[in-house]
Amino acid sequence: MIGWMRSFAALLHDTWLEFIDAKSLWLVLLTIAVLFGVALTIHGEPLAAGRTYLDLAARSLSADTNDLDPAEVSLHTITTRLDGSISWIQSAEPISLVMQPADGQPQDGPKTSWRVTLVRNTLPVVGKMADTNSIATRFGRVADGELWRVHAIRETTAPLAARLGSQRWEMVVNPGRDLMILWPHRMTLFGDALELTPPQGAPLGLEVFILQKLLATGLGGTALLLVSVVITASFVPTMIRKGTLELLLARPVHRWQLILGKFIAAILFVAGMLGLLVGATWVVTGIVSGLWAPGILLAVVSLLLFYGLLLSVSIFAGTLTRSAPAAMLIAVAYWAVLFVVGILHAQVVASHVREDLTGRPRPLTVADALRGRSEPRAPLEPQKRPFHRTAAGRIVEATYRVLPHSSDLDAMVDRQLMRGFSVGGRMRQVLESGEFSWLGGVGLTVAHATAFLVAACVIFGSRDP
C-alpha cells in the first residue's frame, strides 16, 4: 500500500513538472488573468427604479400572482385572478433609516427604504375591505420573490372614505431579499468608457448571470479546457514513446497504474486551475455587483467532468496511436462531434415541438402583450418534412441518445445560476421542468470516460513495447 502511494506520488510529481513545462499553459493563464483584470473594471450603477417596483408591489396586491408565468399565462386568465380592488401608491419618498448621505437627500437605489402612502379602492359588490396585517405580509411579495419588506404600517383611512370603499396606509418599507437582483443597473467597462447595457439598464441578477457564464464557462472555461486538453494529450504518448517507456516498465508497477496515475494527476491539476478560474469569477462578479450567489461554483464540477471525458478520449487515442498530435486532434474532434450533434439535436427537439403545436390555437400571453402584440398568434402551418421524421433526424436522435450530453452539463450550472438570480415561484418551476437529465449529462459523461480509460489500459497492458 505504501509502495502504491509512493508510486502515485511520484507520478503526480512527474506530471506536475510536465504540466508546468508547457509554455502555452502560462500564456493562457496570463490571458485569463488579463480577462479578469478587465472584468474588474466593470462598474455597476443602480438607476432610479424605486417608484416602479413600489408600483409593481402595489398592483400585485390586487391579484393572485403566486403561480404567475408571463410566458404562458394569458391576459384573460389574469383578469380572473383579480380580487376586486385597485391599489396604488399615492406618494413615495426615499428615506434612510441608518444614515443620511452627505447632501442630506437619500438616493433612489436598491438599498434605500421608502416612506409610502398606499391607497386601496374596493369595487362595489365584488370587492372586500382589506385588513392591515394582510397588507403588511403581502406587500412586496411577487410570486415567491420578496421585493419589499414592510417595516412599519399604520392605517390612516378617513371615516368617510372608508364608507366609499377607500382605504389608506402610511408605511415604511425596506428593500427585500430579491430587490437587488431585479434592480436595473447601468453597467460600464473601463470606468464608464464602454456601455454594456441598454439605456434603461438591465436587472443586476441577469447581468451577473451573463458575466459569470462568460468568464467561467464561456471564454475562460473554453480557453482553459482547450489548452488543458492540448497539453495533457501529449502526456501519455510522451510516456509510452520508445526509450522512455522502458525506463518506467522496469519499475515494480502495473501498467494500468501508469495510465491511471497520469489520468488522476492531470485531473487534479486541471481541477485546481478550474477551481481558480471559477473561484476568481465568483469573487470578481461579487466585488463588482455585490451579489454572492454561489451557484457558479458548480461550474467546477461540470467543466471538470467534461475535461475528464476529453482527457480519457485523448489517453485512449494516445495509447492507440502513440502520437501526441493524433491524441490531441482526436480529443478535439470528439469535442466537435459532441457540439455538432448537440446543435442538430436541438433542431430535432424544435421540430417535435413545432409538430405538437401545429394547428392548435395559441392564446395571447402576458409575455406577448409585453412585446406589444395585441392579436393571438395564428396557428402554425404543418411542416412539409419535419426534421425528426427524416433519416438524418433519426440518426441524430439515436446518436445523441448514446453520446454524453454536454448541454445537460451546461444546464446543470445554468439551473443553479438561475436559482440564484431569478425570483422564484412559477418561474423557478418552469426553469426546473426544462429538458434536463442527470443521466444524460453526468451519467453518460462518466460512462464514456470510464470506457475510454479502460480501453486504454487494456490496449496498453497487452501490447509489447
Partner 1 sequence: MVDPVEVEAVVKRYGTAVALAGVTLRVGRGEIFGLLGQNGAGKTTLVKILLGMVAPTAGTARLLGIPVGAPSARRAVGYLPEDHRLPEYHTAASLLDCYGGLQGMPRSWRRQRAAELIEMIGLGQAHRLKVRNFSKGMKQRLGLAQALLHRPDVLFLDEPTDGVDPIGRKQIRDLLLAERARGVTIFINSHLLGEVEQLCDRVAILRKGKVVRSGSVVELTHRQHTWLVGFDRPVPESSTWASAHLDPPDRDGISRVHLADEAALDLFLAEATGRGFAIRHLQKERGTLEDLYLECATVPHGPHVASSVRCG
Contact positions toward partner 1, by CB under 8 A?
2-3, 6-7, 9-11, 13-14, 17-18, 21, 238, 241-244, 246-254, 464-465
**Least distance between partner 1 and beta carbon 461 (Å):** 11
Which residues lie below 8 Å from residue 297, measured CB to CB, with a gap of 6+?
A: 278, 279, 282
Three-state secondary-structure class, residue 219: helix
Name which of 19 and 139 has its Cβ closer to partner 1. 19
- With respect to partner 1, which residue has the nearer C-beta, 153 or 264? 264
Are 157 and 167 in contact, with CB atoms under 8 Å apart? yes
Which three cell numbers mark 432? Answer: 426546473
Residue among 17 and 391 whose Cβ is closer to partner 1: 17
Beta carbon nearer to partner 1, 191 or 252 = 252
Cα separation, 238 vs 74, in Å, equals 63
Measured from the CB of residue 417, what is the shortest distance to partner 1 in angstroms? 39
Q: Which is nearer to partner 1, 10 or 152 (CB)?
A: 10
CA-based angle 81:86:91, to the nearest 5?
Answer: 140
Place of cell 427537439: 349
Beta carbon of residue 258, minimum distance to partner 1 (angstroms, whole number): 9
What is the smallest separation between the CB atom of 462 and partner 1, expressed in angstroms?
A: 9
Instruction: List the one residue out of 460, 413, 407 whose CA is nearest residue 435.
Output: 407
Among residues 9 and 33, whose Cβ is nearest to partner 1? Answer: 9
**Residue 298: how many other CB atoms lie within 10 Å:** 17
Q: Please, what is the minimum distance in Å from the beta carbon of residue 23 to partner 1?
A: 11
Dihedral (Cα; 78, 84, 88, 90), 10-degree rounding: 170
- Rg of the Cα trace of the chain? 29
Going 263 to 266 to 271 to 274, the CA torsion angle's sign is negative
In the complex, least distance from residue 276 CB atom to partner 1, rounded to whole angstroms? 22
> Which of 23/163 has CB closer to partner 1?
23
Q: What minimum distance in Å lies between the beta carbon of 244 and partner 1?
A: 5
Angle at 176 between CA 171 and CA 180, to 5 degrees: 125
